[in-house]
Chain A
Amino acid sequence: DTAVSQTPKYLVTQMGNDKSIKCEQNLGHDTMYWYKQDSKKFLKIMFSYNNKELIINETVPNRFSPKSPDKAHLNLHINSLELGDSAVYFCASSLGPRDAQYFGPGTRLTVL
């Protein structure tokens, strides 16, 4: 019954590796997002997709690549992981671009 789900919940990996985080929503929403929350709890948007189309692409290194195979899924692939990528990554979805957002439980990424 989980509305927005993310996998994995925890991800520990070495510098230089490539990893993916998956997100799925079963709310029938058109818009999905990826956020990064740093150690000071500051939450910053990274990407937003509306109907599988990229509408927001913040100043994020091109090592980060989102992929939306369909409206219910938005995955995040990260190449050549760096220490500074350690954070909690949240996926979210909303009915439309200006509506209330529903967040997933987060993926805690630790890069060693």
Chain B
Amino acid sequence: KQEVTQIPAALSVPEGENLVLNCSFTDSAIYNLQWFRQDPGKGLTSLLLIQSSQREQTSGRLNASLDKSSGRSTLYIAASQPGDSATYLCAVKPGNTPLVFGKGTRLSVIA
């Protein structure tokens, strides 16, 4: 059964720092990997989708990488801002079955 782990569970950084969030999954047979952001009490907002054949995707200050063979993905956030404070969730799509989620990393960016 596919399992997704996100480390660290929580992270606090000063404004302006570059940071990396980690996601690992146990079964490399995935179709895609998606990173989401969740603000308190809100739904999930899709940030980046990486196809299994891709190595990375970029959107503004965000860059996500995928190493399928080792079962790892990272989300890189450049020049962090207080508005980036949220929970970041990683999810993998293991074939024709629904997304499997990690428990998320709660990020606090301190002004």
Q: Do A and B come from one complex?
A: no
Chain A residues near B (Cβ < 8 Å) = none
